[in-house]
């Protein structure tokens, strides 16, 4: 239909024709040249320019599509050309709205494959019928995708899309060994080596950088500090994400390299979600995301987890993953107000007594207490949010005073646990001392034995029928060493492997003995002196207090009750 007669004085002017082309994915655009084919056809049909999108037809928020509709409504175009009606949209509701806007704006819609004319009732009917068919095809495709994903879950296969640092190949997650960059310290030292591309051998892979990110987070404990050090280390001055309008790459190798480079660009929320992904600890997660209308959102239901599907490709251990999840849970509990943001080159710092935030509750009404600061900022305190509004617990609790009360209760609890452990061990040690005396051992030897076998938290746990927390990795290393020890003949390779495993065992035991890796009961057991708690660094308290304390109940300006997280609920 030619609308030039409706343009008054410009009736003899040439039609302003714009083409529109769309494919759903980059791979579709490059591997099948679908976008190139559409572009060529609409240009041949008379389009002066072509607007293009690489997005699903169900997505109504497409940059070029939005620009096209804006041009139509502003009278900047007389005719729009595209190859098939599903290139415009796969939603019947969206198609109906588009047709209405085209008609109201006096713009002709030309569809090459169907040769439709919207000026006739038949043309409008056919457009709506074709739109309904396009929506039906999209629904069928979605259903096939759902069935395919259900089948992959049944087989325990990896998802088609893998988190950064990984590739999904043959239904398995594999660490991405694509070279990304070579640090200046590792680059070739001579022109000959540079010409021979020897730097490729020294290049860091995507997996190397992913492992570096994990190590930095375990060291710094916050996403902000992790990314700050990461960008400084790799010389990234202006980190940013690639946009939807980024230039198209010509071949699959370039696209793979572009995908690999994504490991260098992060947001804080993106890094947090990545660290929490079960794939990093060797598990496969399904149903983490669901389709809600046209949007893909995180499911409110727990995902379906298949454990240890690729343990050899794990970036973090199960213990480290649990620690990371616990760290983020603590930060969520404390809230953003517990941090002093980076300023003037200083690192993020915790506000004083931030580790008590989220743990303190009103003894009378059970509400979580709010944190407040005095007018001059001299001190901070907790107060019940309902004080004077139905709750009689009106008196605030200074945070410094609350911690002193808490430490006194922690020391008292520690001494109580030690008395219980000594009581369970005394009978065993008395019997062993008598046996040693009968064997003719000296008093010094007996005292040395008793000192080495003094009561500990392990004895208390065993007496209560529990089991002392351990490390899966440590147990696995010990089994490997035990297996190699049974080899009857000397073998240099086996001897070297045994030495390596022994060193790993010692390092793991050293980490387990760190206060940050101990269980709640172990930490309280060790804290039988005031100096233990008074000298704990601030960042240690942020890690430890939420792990050992369930809730603190305050009343009339003091700590009324402390509930601790012990392994045995009866203690």
DSSP calls for 36-66 = HHHHHHHHHTT-SEEEEEES-TT-S--HHHH
In a domain, 345, yes or no: no
* The two three-digit tokens of residue 213, written as one number: 């990110």
Range of the domain at 320: 156-332
Name the domain boundary from 112, 134, 152. Answer: 152
- Return d(Cα 410, Cα 548) in angstroms, integer: 10
Q: Tell me: do 10 and 122 sit in the same domain.
A: yes
How many other β-carbons are positioned within 10 Å of the β-carbon of residue 532? 16
Choosing from 122, 152, 182, the residue where a domain stops is 152
Claim to verify: residue 197 and residue 291 sit in the same structural domain: yes
Global model pTM greater than 0.75? no
Q: 368 in a domain, yes or no?
A: no
277 lies in a domain?
A: yes
Count: domains in the chain: 2
**Element at 433 (helix H, strand E):** helix 399-438
CATH code at position 327? 3.90.1750.20
Residue 567 lies in a domain: no
Measured N-to-C along each axis, helices 318-334 and 206-220 cross at an angle, to the nearest 10 degrees, of 50
166 and 140 together in one domain: no
The pLDDT of 228-249, averaged and rounded, is 61
Is residue 326 in some structural domain? yes
- Give long-range contacts, CB 8 A cutoff, 24+ apart: 414-420: 414/524, 414/525, 414/526, 414/527, 414/528, 415/528, 417/457, 417/460, 417/521, 417/524, 417/525, 417/571, 418/455, 418/525, 418/528, 420/460, 420/463, 420/571
| Same domain, residue pair 186 and 256 | yes
The 3-state secondary structure of 236-259 reads CCCCCCCCCCCCCCCCHHHHHHHH
Q: Based on the domain organization, do 196 and 240 belong to the same domain? A: yes
**Alpha-carbon span 475 to 40, nearest angstrom:** 64
* Residues 60 and 131 occupy one common structural domain: yes
Contact status, residue 76 vs residue 125, Cβ threshold 8 Å: no
**pLDDT of residue 136 exceeding 60:** yes
In terms of domains, do 60 and 178 share one?
no
Let me know if residue 33 belongs to a domain. Answer: yes
Task: Summarize pLDDT for 344-356 with one digit per residue, the tens.
Answer: 444 456 677 888 8
Q: Tens digit of pLDDT for each residue in 33-46?
A: 788 888 899 899 88
pLDDT at 194: 45
Indicate the residue among 102, 117, 152 that finishes a domain: 152
Task: Note whether 142 and 194 are same-domain residues.
Answer: no
Are both 143 and 162 inside the same structural domain?
A: no
Indicate if the pLDDT at residue 244 is higher than 50: no
The average confidence (pLDDT) of the chain is 75
Answer with the residue of higher pLDDT: 248 or 27: 27
CATH of residue 42: 3.40.50.1390
Domain assignment present for 538: no
Q: Quick one: 148 and 170 in the same domain?
A: no
Distance of alpha carbon 412 from alpha carbon 84, whole angstroms: 78
Give the catalytic positions in this structure.
24
**380 in a domain, yes or no?**
no
- Structure confidence by residue, pLDDT tens digits, 107-120: 888 888 876 666 66
Residue % of the chain over a pLDDT of 90: 7
The answer to whether the CB of 131 falls within 8 A of the CB of 98 is no
Could you tell me if 219 and 70 lie in one domain? no
Per residue in 474-507, pLDDT (tens digit) is: 777 788 888 788 777 777 788 888 888 888 777 7
Cα separations (Å) of 474 from 147, 478, 513, 546? 41, 6, 12, 25
184 and 136 within one domain: no
């Amino acid at each position: 239909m030619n609308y030039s007669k409706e343009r008054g004085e410009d009736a003899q002017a040439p039609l302003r024709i714009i083409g529109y082309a769309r494919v759903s994915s980059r791979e579709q655009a490059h591997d099948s040249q679908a976008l190139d084919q559409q572009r060529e056809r609409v240009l041949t049909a008379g389009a002066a320019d072509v607007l293009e999108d690489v997005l699903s037809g169900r997505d109504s928020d497409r940059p070029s599509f939005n620009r096209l509709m804006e041009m139509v409504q502003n009278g900047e175009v007389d005719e729009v050309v595209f190859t098939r009606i599903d290139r415009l949209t796969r939603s019947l509701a969206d198609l109906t709205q588009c047709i209405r806007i085209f008609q109201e704006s006096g713009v002709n819609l030309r569809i090459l494959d169907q040769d439709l004319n919207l000026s006739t009732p038949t043309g409008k009917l056919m457009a709506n019928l074709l739109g309904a068919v396009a929506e039906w095809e999209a629904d069928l495709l979605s259903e096939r995708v759902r069935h395919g994903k259900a089948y992959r879950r049944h087989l325990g296969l990896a998802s088609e899309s893998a988190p950064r640092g990984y590739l999904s190949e043959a239904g398995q997650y594999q660490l991405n060994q694509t070279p990304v960059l070579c640090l200046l310290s590792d680059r070739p030292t001579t022109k000959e080596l540079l010409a021979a591309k020897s730097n490729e051998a020294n290049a860091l892979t995507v997996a190397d950088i992913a492992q570096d990110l994990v190590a930095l987070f375990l060291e710094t404990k916050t996403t902000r500090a992790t990314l700050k050090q990461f960008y400084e280390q790799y010389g990234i001055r202006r980190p940013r994400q690639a946009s939807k309008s980024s230039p198209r790459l010509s071949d699959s190798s370039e696209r793979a390299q572009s995908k690999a480079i994504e490991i260098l660009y992060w947001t804080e929320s993106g890094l947090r979600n990545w660290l929490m992904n079960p794939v990093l600890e060797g598990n496969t997660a399904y149903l983490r995301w669901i389709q809600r209308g046209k949007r893909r959102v995180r499911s409110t239901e727990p995902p379906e987890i298949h454990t240890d599907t690729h343990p050899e490709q794990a970036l973090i251990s199960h213990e480290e993953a649990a620690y990371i999840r616990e760290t983020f849970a603590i930060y969520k509990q404390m809230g953003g107000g517990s941090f002093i943001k980076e300023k003037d080159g200083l690192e993020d710092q915790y506000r004083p007594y931030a580790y008590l935030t989220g743990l303190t509750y009103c003894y009378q009404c059970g509400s979580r207490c709010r944190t407040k600061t005095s007018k001059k900022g001299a001190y901070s305190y907790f107060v019940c949010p309902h004080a004077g509004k139905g709750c009689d617990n009106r008196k605030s609790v200074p945070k410094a005073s609350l911690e002193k009360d808490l430490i006194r209760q922690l020391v008292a609890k520690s001494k109580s646990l030690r008395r219980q452990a000594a009581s369970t061990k005394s009978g065993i040690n008395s019997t062993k001392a008598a046996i040693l005396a009968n064997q003719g051992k000296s008093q010094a030897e007996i005292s040395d034995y008793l000192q080495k076998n003094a009561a500990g938290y392990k004895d208390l746990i065993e007496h209560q029928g529990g089991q002392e927390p351990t490390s899966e990795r440590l147990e696995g290393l010990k089994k490997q060493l035990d297996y190699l020890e049974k080899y009857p003949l000397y073998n240099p390779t086996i001897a070297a492997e045994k030495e390596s495993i022994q060193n790993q065992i010692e390092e793991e035991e050293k980490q387990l003995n760190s206060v940050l890796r101990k269980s709640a009961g172990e930490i309280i057991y060790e804290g039988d002196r005031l100096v233990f708690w008074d000298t704990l660094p601030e960042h240690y308290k942020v890690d430890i207090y939420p792990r050992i304390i369930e809730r603190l109940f305050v009343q009339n300006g003091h700590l009324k009750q402390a509930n601790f997280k012990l392994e045995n609920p009866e203690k």
